[in-house]
Amino acid sequence: MQYTISKSNLHINGTITLNGSKSIANRALIIQALCKAPFTIHQLSNSKDTVTLKSLLEQAKQGDNVVFDAGAAGTTYRFMTAFLAMQEGTQILTGTARMKQRPIGVLVKALRQLGANIEYMEQEGYPPLKIHSPNELGKENQLIISAETSSQYISALLMIAPTLPNGLELTLEGKIVSRSYIEMTLGQMAYFGVQHVWEGNTIKVAAQDYQAQDFVVEADWSAASYFYTMAVLADDLDLQLNGLYANSFQGDAVLTTMMTAFGIETTFNPFGIRLQKSGDMPIDHFEYDFLRCPDLAQTIAVMCASMGISAKFTGLETLRIKETDRIAALQQELDKVNVIVQPFGHKGMTLEGKVNIMNQPIFDTYEDHRMAMAFAPLAMLDTIQINEPMVVVKSYPDFYSDLKLLGFEVTE
């Protein structure tokens, strides 16, 4: 499937109610499954990742010898690995071909130390997994884990920590990647009554019960980022994005300050945020460390390229092990519009050039929802095409419908 996207003007005016954050929703679902009493989750994300996790947790109630398919959902796979490792019975946890290329060894090793009985069914260190009843749950309650890999491993361990007989003392070794996502996890755990102590690089969670109380899922700041690109490109801007909070669990909320450099003013109101032009001219060079907000990197890269703003990005340690190698994907797709992306090491990249759209370029998505949504705003410059556009269902199923509300034309 291929979508053609265009826009007849540079006006971005209207109101969009954003989808709930799948990161927040997925954590709430795991906590709900671990809680001894029921509670309700309001405004649950309709993203495919969240729908998949909800379905798998329902499936987990069926008992022994169940095959769980997490599809392409990385967060779902990591969280379910930890959840199932603490359950009785034997289960199989699998996913897509790409999922089988995404490492899980760091988490499996940690869970085994806690007493989990997990075996690899194919390649050592990678899905699929066969997960048996734990051997001696909580026999060890002190773990050291590399902080330079996915924060999803750490979050998965933290959420099961209060259910372990002796809790968990988790020491993060090395530079902490995506710290904001760890803080999000601990913040949600605290909402449900679970206390922790974080001293230096060690997080201590004592054995305790989650306390049931209803929960409202905040809208997704990552989704908001695509509308910020549209705001930058607009010559007439007045956009309301509903569902976002000033006191957010999400690291991507840094957009409110980051985007001042691009001439965008963000104002909070009772419904969410309002975007308007500040009157300041955008900068001509941008440097940023994305360690705390790696999911913004693709969006900001395309934003800079669209304005001809040279850039240097660091803190990209996790981008090569996401749904695709996101640095390589950006390099390939921006090259189609005469923008040069140059990686350095495995943690950074530079950008030079300004987007030059000719002959309706076709952008590939690499089974990565963020590639489709990061490139879609370029339709404000000229007509573009996107291959496999519905990959957006992973996090934002209504993305193209919302584009149409703002005057974009989207045709198959």
CA distance 106 to 99: 15
Helix 48-59 to helix 74-85 angle (10° resolution) is 20
Cβ-proximal residues to 97 (8 Å cutoff; 6+ apart), any chain: none
Do residues 21 and 29 lie in contact, with contact meaning Cβ atoms separated by under 8 Å? Answer: no
Cβ-proximal residues to 292 (8 Å cutoff; 6+ apart), any chain: 178, 179, 180, 251, 254, 315
* Position 25, amino acid: A
List the strands of the sheet with 362-363, edge to edge: 362-363, 384-387, 2-7, 408-411
Cβ-proximal residues to 412 (8 Å cutoff; 6+ apart), any chain: 1, 2, 3, 4
Candidates 91, 86, 105; CA nearest to 153 is: 105
Cβ-proximal residues to 285 (8 Å cutoff; 6+ apart), any chain: 309, 310, 311
CA distance 254 to 276: 17
Active site residues: 295
* Position 196, amino acid: H
- How many residues in the chain? 412
CA distance 131 to 114: 14
CA distance 380 to 170: 47
Q: What tokens were used for 86? A: 């603490």
- The pairing of strands 11-17 and 236-242 is parallel
CA distance 88 to 105: 21
